[in-house]
Structure 1
Amino acid sequence: MRREIPRIDRRTLLSGAAAAAAALAGSGLPLGPARASTLALGDASLQVVSDGNLVLPMGFILPDRSKAEIETLLAPHGLPSDQVEPACNLTLFRTGDRLVLFDAGSGANFQPTAGRLGSSLAAAGVDPSDITDVVFTHAHPDHIWGVLDDFDEPVFSSARHWISQAEWDFWRAEDTLSLMPEERKSFVVGARNRFDAIEAAVSFFKAGDMPVPGVEAVDTTGHTPGHVSFMLHGGPDPVLVTGDAITHPVISFERPDWEIGSDQDRAQGAVTRKALLDRLAEDKAAIVGFHLPYPGIGTVERSGGAYRFLPA
């Protein structure tokens, strides 16, 4: 049986900067070279920094849906039906003497619109050497390739790197490369290359563990076999860093039952997404969505028989 999504307490967002940044979310403005948005979380704080955005054909996201279905869903929101340009929002969590970065972005070798984490960290006054922990939701290129610089040297050389044992084992398995579709074999090669470079600094965890104080791993399997989201504790109310369990501000919420082409296990991805949205809507919990419009901070509410995302 899959682990039940934990209950999340009701929360209050405390952020002046986040409100201003949220006003830009979905505005159609291009992502700048460096952006950062901060909110308080009790004695801790959370800061979202941008790695830019991706550009993906809609067929990659919804390979099983007709153009008419997609247009019917997206046109009322003024969104194109031929491609998506998801933001890449990385979360920094300051708690005690730890500065935790969730995921590491794309680096310079994935898409030209991404790989901006370095400039965003600089704009936020953060040097890579300040990061004490890098915690991965999963090992897709836009989440892990950024651990290496242009010279294939580790960017976060002072940090402990954390990844779920199931995720590590999947990308390392002997048959993963041969079973991966041709267009995604580079994902496997890239993940293994990064694993080799950071292996000496890697520690493993499983769902339910707390790899870093105040950071609880939540099982959100489906997008990849070891995908996890993270509940951040530090004040009276937690915030969930979703990773790619939720990826689109309309599709994921209005049609969570639609299978997503980027999910490794499409059926399980839909089951996980629905369970997660149910819990988030019930508890009116705050989330940070990696691919939601920058800065990805908001809440979930039920809307008819589905859901909608409410930016902070």
Structure 2
Amino acid sequence: MQNKFHRIAVAVLSLAAGVPAMAAPPTPTTAPHVLPQPAGAYSFEVGGTRVIALSDGTAPQDLHKLLRGTMAARTDAMLRSEFVSNPLQTSINVFVIEIGERHVMIDTGVGDLFGPGSGGRLPESMAAAGIRSEQISDILITHVHPDDVGGLVRNGRMMFPNAVVHVGKPDVEFFVDPPKGKAAHADSKTSEELVGMMKPYFDAGKVRAFTGQTDIVPSISATPHAGHTPGSAFYTLSTKSGQIVFVGDIVHAAAVQFPTPSVSIMYDAEPTLAINVRKKAFAEFALNRTLIAAPHLSFPGVGYVRESGKGFQWVPVNYENWSAKQPAPRTGQAN
């Protein structure tokens, strides 16, 4: 998300210590040329509650410019080990949870803010999943960055006219409140865009700012995890027989930050806090075998974390695709 990386100016603390260079695996001789994709939607159930991952498309990241606490050569070697290279096309994922009559959306993608060819495909994916904008009852913002709130407004109008927007109060104060928002960004255009995305919902009385652990809607709670932004939050869907945690931007470059979670990214507001959040969360998710969903892991961005050496490894959910006209196949139960 090159635009984001060049335009979000946030306070950067001391960098993490450099890590030793690692041997570079050979470059693959054949890399696929990826063609334009149709709209993306992937549905699954957690304890009987339907969750839909929606693709807002992808956008490029120049990890050489963005990552902190590592070196370009090491980054390239770690990317090659996952058969990818820099710059890296990164997913922008949005999630919808169906709870009774409520349709609860986690983040909104980038909308029009990155320009043509970089995200902005949420409306197509919603249509493919049979979800209408007016059905969205609640929007849970993990943090106030352009690729998370950019889809709130399209063509100058509220995209989700019936939705209440839930967001951490520290992010409202840092990014949206005009006096503090202007001071929060060296790039005033980004500040204006963020305010522009949120203002129609404020004007309509549809924003609920929270502090601390909060029950947002039935079965979904928010927990603050300041670091990437002051008001960053996780949202946890808990049912009688299952749980999934929507983690926001604790990881951007899976090939690098899972093995070395001490690597931060330039738009972390407080890198040391962000690193601590990532390390603690990865360890807890691995220990408890927690199902998680993330905005910038390869679509659908749903899976597990496991320990691997001194770091961690991402394990995406097994892809399944079967017709609704046929009986549901038996699926292996994870232990």
For normalisation by structure 2, the TM-score amounts to: 0.80
Q: Residues 44 and 95 of structure 1 are in contact (CA less than 8 Å); yes or no, is this contact kept in structure 2?
A: yes
Aligned counterpart, 2:297: 292
Alignment partner, residue 192 of structure 1:
195
Match of 1:17 in 2: none
CA distance in 2 between counterparts of 1:30 and 1:51 reads: 16
Shift of 1:193: 1.3
Amino acid at match of 1:289: A
- Preserved contact between residue 210 and residue 216 of structure 1 (Cα < 8 Å): yes
Paired AA for residue 197 in structure 2: R
What letter corresponds to residue 106 of structure 1 in structure 2?
V
- Distance in 2 (alpha carbons) for counterparts of 1:83 and 1:63: 16
Mapped partners of 1:77, 1:259: distance in 2? 19
Tell me how far apart the structure 1 counterparts of residues 90 and 211 of structure 2 sit (CA, whole Å): 28
Tell me what 1:156 maps to: 160
Aligned to 1:100: 104
Residue in structure 2 matching 1:166, options 170, 178, 191: 170
**Residues 165-218 of structure 1: CA deviation (Å, up to 9, x unaligned):** 111111126244234244xx4332111112211102111222310111111112
- Say which is worse superposed, 267-276 or 230-239, in terms of deviation: 230-239
Measure the CA separation in 1 of the matches of 2:245 and 2:36: 23
Distance change in 2, residues 1:301/1:30 (3 Å)? farther
- Aligned-pair Cα RMSD in Å: 1.9
The one-character-per-residue Cα deviations of 1:229-271 (angstroms, maximum 9, x if unpaired) are: 1111134121011110122222221110012112111111111
**C-alpha distance in 1 between matches for 2:88 and 2:281:** 23
CA distance in 2, matches of 1:281, 1:195: 35
Identity %: 24
- Number of the residue aligned with 2:128: 123
- Select which of 114, 118, 129 maps to 2:119: 114
How far 1:38 moved relative to its partner? Answer: 0.8
Task: In structure 2, list runs of 5 or more residues that go unmatched.
Answer: 1-31, 318-335
Distance 1:58 1:127 in 2: 35
Alignment of structure 1 residues 166-245 onto 2, 5 Å: 166-171=170-175, 172=177, 174-182=179-187, 185-199=188-202, 200-245=205-250
Cα contact 2:39–2:128 (8 A) shared by 1: yes
Matches within 5 A, 1:48-59: 48-59=53-64
More displaced stretch, 216-225 vs 104-113: 104-113
Instruction: Name the structure 2 match of 1:277.
Output: 282
- 1:29, CA displacement in angstroms? 4.4
- Describe the SS at the equivalent of 1:211: strand
2-structure distance, mates of 1:54, 1:201? 30
Q: Report Cα offsets for 1:81-132 as digits up to 9, x if no partner.
A: x322110111100112211011111112324221000010000001101111
**Cα distance 1:28–1:299, how it changes in 2: closer, same or farther (>3 A)?**
farther
Higher relative contact order (CA 8 A, sep 6+): 1
Runs of 4+ in structure 1 off by over 6 angstroms are none
Q: 1:31 to 1:50 in 2, by over 3 A?
A: farther
The higher radius of gyration belongs to: 2
Instruction: Within 5 Å, give how 1:8-157 maps onto structure 2.
Output: 29=34, 32-63=37-68, 65-80=70-85, 82-112=86-116, 113-150=118-155, 152-157=156-161
Q: Aligned pair count?
A: 283
